[in-house]
Amino acid sequence: MSDDLVDRLLDWGRLALSRRGFIGLGAGATAALLDSREFGSVGDGRKDEHKALQAALDRAVAGPRPRPLLIPSGTYQLSKPLQASGPLEIRGDGPERTVLLAPPDSPAISVGTLAHGQPSGLVLRDFTIRSSSTSLAPMLDIRQYGRKWIVDRVNFDGAFGDRTGVRVWSSWVGSIRDCSFYRFGTEGVRARRAAIVIKPQSLPTGNGPINNVAIADCAFERVQAGIDLHDPEETGKSTVIHAVEIRNPRFKNSSVKGPVANSIGIRANSTSTFNVVVTAPFFEDFAVGVSVRGWGWAITSPFAQSADTVVELVTGGGHSITGLVLDGAAANAIGTGVRCRSGVSGRCELHLWKSVHGRKYLGHPWVDDTKGKLVVIPA
């Protein structure tokens, strides 16, 4: 039996189940799954699918009980962003099976508005968003979207454009998990936008802080800037970020000669950043792993295989680094493990560091502490 026939049989079965209400929002749910093909979507990669997919989305969020929307396997060209402001679930057949081609100058999906009191319930999962433009517009825009939103198993391919994969404007309790970000920014050139931008924007009706955002198990490959806390171009208009957790991120570039110039994994661009927890980050061929501004960062078990600087403490205080491991390859040396800049005004601590190969691959002193603000507690 051919793979194409298997796919068609699976699609027919899925559609039949959805029409009978057996596929729902989650375990135990019974809400019928809408299929975008019922509204005229094709997925051939050529037709403009905006009208059909927007009609399907409008139907999915209409009424007292929203229904999840399936966009089946295929490639869907969008001339304008899909937009919604109510509880929403969009799912595909899996990354690289369901592919949305973002408009050249706007997001593929834009949810929420810059207003208070929006409903919770955003779920996006199992598809790819791809762009071939150099627009600074994000591929996915989340604008003050209530509580408990989830972006799960979504791949973002920037095709080396200097645009953002996910931008979060203002949020309470959201998560980006098990996503991949590929080819963001031109290698060697400083990026204006990161793959993920956490952007706490001031709102017309008051402040719009970020509270409790988790980024878990995401991969960043051939990316010039991975995660920005505060947009570097608009920090003057922003408010505060509280409690961001970044778990198990993987940052890898493709260089065989060492760190890619101007590349950075995680970057804070404002001192109004509080209580950021980074757990088990991996860095290979990045110029800077983590650049810290604000107060009370906790970085646990960072591992670097090739970096000019693994952790850079720029401002603030109360930061702690625990379990740093440096393991430079022969051609891809580590420059500095921790650099503590003069802008740091409070005490910081480095606990339990280790260079696996001693000082053989360390190009500079493993700690650069210009003002003596870093307390080093060796293993």
- What residue has token string 């999840």? 68
Is residue 57, in this structure, part of any structural domain at all?
yes
Backbone angles phi, psi at 10, to 5 degrees: -65, -40
More confident residue, 307 or 171: 307
Other C-beta atoms closer than 10 Å to the C-beta of 63 total: 9
pLDDT above 90: residue 365: no
End-to-end CA separation in angstroms for the chain: 59
Structure tokens at 322: 């625990």
pLDDT tens profile 224-253 = 999 999 988 777 777 899 999 999 999 999
Q: What is the pLDDT of residue 63?
A: 78
Q: Which range among 124-133, 160-169, 349-358 shows the weakest confidence by mean pLDDT?
A: 349-358
Is residue 180, in this structure, part of any structural domain at all?
yes
Q: What is the pLDDT of residue 23?
A: 40
pLDDT tens profile 250-274 = 999 988 888 999 999 999 999 999 9
Model confidence band, residue 20 (pLDDT cutoffs 50, 70, 90): very low
Secondary structure (3-state) at 41: coil
23-32, 76-85, 225-234 — which one is most confidently predicted on average? 76-85
Q: What is the pLDDT of residue 162?
A: 86
**What is the number of alpha carbons within 13 Å of residue 171 lying toward its C-beta?**
26
pLDDT above 90: residue 101: yes
Q: What is the pLDDT of residue 29?
A: 44
More confident residue, 378 or 101: 101
The percentage of residues in the chain with a pLDDT greater than 70, rounded to a whole number, is 85
Is residue 372, in this structure, part of any structural domain at all?
no
Contacts 24+ apart (CB under 8 A), 191-194: 191/162, 191/224, 191/225, 191/262, 192/136, 192/162, 192/232, 192/233, 193/136, 193/138, 193/162, 193/163, 193/164, 193/225, 193/228, 193/231, 194/164, 194/225, 194/226, 194/227, 194/228, 194/267
Cβ 268 vs Cβ 276: under 8 Å:
yes
pLDDT tens profile 119-130 = 678 899 999 999
Q: What is the pLDDT of residue 21?
A: 42
Contacts 24+ apart (CB under 8 A), 310-314: 310/283, 310/334, 310/336, 310/337, 310/338, 311/337, 311/338, 311/339, 312/288, 312/338, 312/339, 312/341, 313/338, 313/339, 313/340, 313/341, 313/344, 313/348, 313/373, 313/374, 314/268, 314/341, 314/343, 314/344
- C-alpha 242/C-alpha 296 separation (Å) is 10
Cβ 90 vs Cβ 69: under 8 Å:
yes
More confident residue, 23 or 57: 57
User: Over the Cα atoms of the chain, what is R_g?
Assistant: 22
Is residue 277, in this structure, part of any structural domain at all?
yes
Residue 50's domain is classified under what CATH number? 2.160.20
Model confidence band, residue 169 (pLDDT cutoffs 50, 70, 90): confident
Is residue 140, in this structure, part of any structural domain at all?
yes
Does the predicted model carry a pTM greater than 0.85? yes
Structure tokens at 289: 């792993």
pLDDT above 70: residue 321: yes
Alpha-helical regions (H) of the chain: 3-19, 50-61
pLDDT above 70: residue 146: no
pLDDT above 50: residue 133: yes
Model confidence band, residue 359 (pLDDT cutoffs 50, 70, 90): low
pLDDT above 70: residue 333: yes
- What residue has token string 């929002």? 25
| Residues in Cβ contact with 159 at an 8 Å cutoff, skipping those fewer than 6 apart | 130, 131, 132, 183
Backbone angles phi, psi at 330, to 5 degrees: -60, -40
The structural domain count of the chain equals: 1
**Complete DSSP assignment for 265-296:** EEEE--S-EEEEEEES-EEEEEEEEEEE-SB-
Residues counted in the chain? 379
Backbone angles phi, psi at 195, to 5 degrees: -65, -40
Is residue 300, in this structure, part of any structural domain at all?
yes
DSSP H or E stretch at residue 238: none
Cβ 258 vs Cβ 333: under 8 Å:
yes
The domain in which residue 54 lies consists of: 33-367
Is residue 1, in this structure, part of any structural domain at all?
no
Q: Which range among 33-42, 56-65, 144-153 shows the weakest confidence by mean pLDDT?
A: 144-153
Model confidence band, residue 326 (pLDDT cutoffs 50, 70, 90): confident
- C-alpha 220/C-alpha 248 separation (Å) is 11
Is residue 245, in this structure, part of any structural domain at all?
yes
Query: Positive or negative CA dihedral for 265, 271, 274, 275?
Result: positive
Model confidence band, residue 118 (pLDDT cutoffs 50, 70, 90): low
Cβ 346 vs Cβ 316: under 8 Å:
yes
pLDDT tens profile 200-223 = 877 666 667 888 899 999 999 999
More confident residue, 34 or 116: 34
Q: What is the pLDDT of residue 28?
A: 38
Q: What is the mean pLDDT of residues 174-183?
A: 96
